[in-house]
Amino acid sequence: MSSMVIRFPDGTKEFRYPEKPVQVDDTVWHDGARFRVVSVSSDDGRDVVVVEPVPDGLVDELRSEEGAIRLVDI
């Protein structure tokens, strides 16, 4: 699989598929913000991922990129 579609609260974007498969409850990092994966489904052989913002507290802000999957635009 070469790409996936991610549905953000403000719109849909397409990204290169990361090395590690995206799963429900994963954290993804995009445009300086963290998002939690709510669902992953398949549409015509391509993953469709729905995410929601992760609220930031001070501790979260300090570790915001730690362990998150980085998204790369196509």
> How many domains are contained in the chain?
1
Its domain, for residue 37, covers 3-70
Global pTM value:
0.75
pLDDT of the residue at 73: 72
Q: Where does the pLDDT of residue 20 fall: very low under 50, low under 70, confident under 90, or very high at 90 and above?
A: confident
pLDDT of the residue at 57: 64
pLDDT of the residue at 65: 52
DSSP secondary-structure letter at 1? -
Q: pLDDT for 32-70, tens place per residue?
A: 888 999 999 988 878 899 999 987 664 555 455 556 667
Beta-carbon contacts of residue 26 (< 8 Å; ≥ 6 apart): 36, 37, 69
pLDDT of the residue at 60: 54
